[in-house]
Amino acid sequence: MSEAAYAGREQTEVKHYILRHYLERFAHRVGFGYRTLTYVDTFAGPWNATTDNLSDTSFSIALTKLCEARETLATFPHARLQRSAAYSWSAADKPIPAYANSASRPPHETLTS
C-alpha cells in the first residue's frame, strides 16, 4: 500500500509490515513441530478498510500469510501443520464486515468475535 494510505495510521502501517514480513516465517517454523497454529489479533479494528475485499486489513493479511505458509508446508513430508486459524477481536463500535466472518477462504477458520 502507498504511504498516503497510512496517513494518520502509522501504527497500522507498522503492524501490517510485521504481518507481511514475519507471520509467514513464524508459521513455517511452528509448522514443523505442531499441527495447529492459532493467530489471535487482539488489536483489530476499527476496520477502516479502503478495499472491498478487506485486503488492507490486518485480519486479511494474517489469513493470507497463514494460507501461504500452509501451502508451502504441504510440500514438505515432515511438516506437521494441518490447520491454521486466525481470530480477530474488535472492540470498536463499528461492526465487523460480513466478509471477515465468511468461510470462503479455506483452509482457515475465520471466526471473529
pLDDT at 20: 93
pLDDT at 99: 47
pLDDT at 35: 85
Mutual angle of helices 24-31 and 58-73, in 10-degree steps: 40
For the chain, residues with pLDDT lower than 50 are 99-113
pLDDT at 74: 87
pLDDT at 90: 55
Model confidence, pTM: 0.71
Would you tell me how many other CB atoms lie within 10 Å of the CB of residue 83? 14
